[in-house]
Amino acid sequence: MGEYQFENAVTSKEELRELLGTPSEMVQNKVINYLDEHCRSFISKSPFIVVSTTDKAGKTDVSPKGDQAGFVHILNDHQMVIPERKGNRRADTMMNILENPYMGVIFFIPGFGEMLRVNGKATLIRDEDILDMMAVNGKSPKFGIAVNVEECFIQCAKATIRSGLWKPESWPDKETLPWAAQILADHAKICGRKAEDIDAGLKLGYTKDLY
Query: What's CA 139's distance to the chain center, in Å?
Result: 22
Average pLDDT, the chain: 96
Query: Could you tell me the domains of the chain?
Result: 20-163 (2.30.110.10), 172-208 (no CATH)
Beta strand segments in 37-112, E: 48-54, 60-66, 73-76, 79-83, 102-108
Provide, for the chain, the percentages of residues in helix, strand and coil under a 3-state DSSP scheme, each rounded to the nearest 5.
35, 25, 40
Cα–Cα distance between 15 and 5 in angstroms, integer?
20
Region 153-164: mean pLDDT is 97
In this predicted structure, the answer to whether residue 1 has a pLDDT above a threshold of 80 is no
Contact present, 145 and 120 (Cβ < 8 Å): no
Could you tell me which of 100, 137, 95 has the C-alpha nearest to residue 120?
Answer: 100
Within a 10 A sphere around the Cβ of 83, how many other Cβ atoms? 22
In this predicted structure, the answer to whether residue 191 has a pLDDT above a threshold of 90 is no
Residue-wise pLDDT for 107-156, tens only, equals 999 999 999 999 999 999 999 999 999 999 999 999 999 999 999 999 99
Mean pLDDT score, 194-203: 94
Is the pTM higher than 0.75? The answer reads yes
- State mean pLDDT over 12-22: 96
Indicate whether 65 pLDDT > 80: yes
